Amino acid sequence: MGVPFEALLPYAIMLGMFGFTGAGLSKLRHMQNGGKRARHSVDQWDRVSIPANPPTLLHTLFSGWSHDVDEYTVMDRDRRLTGFLRGQTDNPTAPPGFELNNPWRVGFPTQIELLLEKITDLLLAVGEALLLEDGASWNCTYDSVRNTGNRI
């Protein structure tokens, strides 16, 4: 006695969906790498790392599995030159403006500093509006508080 093909249709659909999803993800990764195959093992030359962002708890726990663009400075340089993380160029001269395109992110504020700065600006604006609305005199100006260099 044979098995009716209708009983096997759900399995065929599931197998087809797994195949379609795998092929789609493979093609997406292929397109993101600029038409090259995905890299599974990055050698020590590409792994010269200067962390641009402070490491998080997950980053320290899984640092061997991390594939952040900030870690791979050589690959990041290639990305800045060509637009692709895996791109390479044979042009011996850098494009105009590349001498100012520094991968070292020194001096740029972090997201927390930007958020605190926005909160400080908002609190100062609200405080100024409330004090001036009541007719009270505010003995320090916005610029004097802002230029003291003190952060919250």
pLDDT band at residue 69 under the 50/70/90 scheme: very low
Closest CA to 85 of 27, 125, 126, 46: 46
The length of the chain in residues reads: 152
- 77 membership: H or E segment, kind and range: helix 73-82
Instruction: Tell me what pLDDT residue 81 has.
Output: 79
Determine the Cα angle at 75 with ends 72 and 79, to 5°.
125
* pLDDT tens by residue, 2-33: 778 888 999 999 999 999 999 999 999 888 87
* pLDDT tens by residue, 108-119: 566 777 788 888
Instruction: Tell me what pLDDT residue 58 has.
Output: 53
Classify residue 98 by its DSSP letter.
G
Q: Does the pLDDT of residue 68 top 50, yes or no?
A: no
| pTM metric for this prediction | 0.39
Instruction: Tell me what pLDDT residue 10 has.
Output: 94
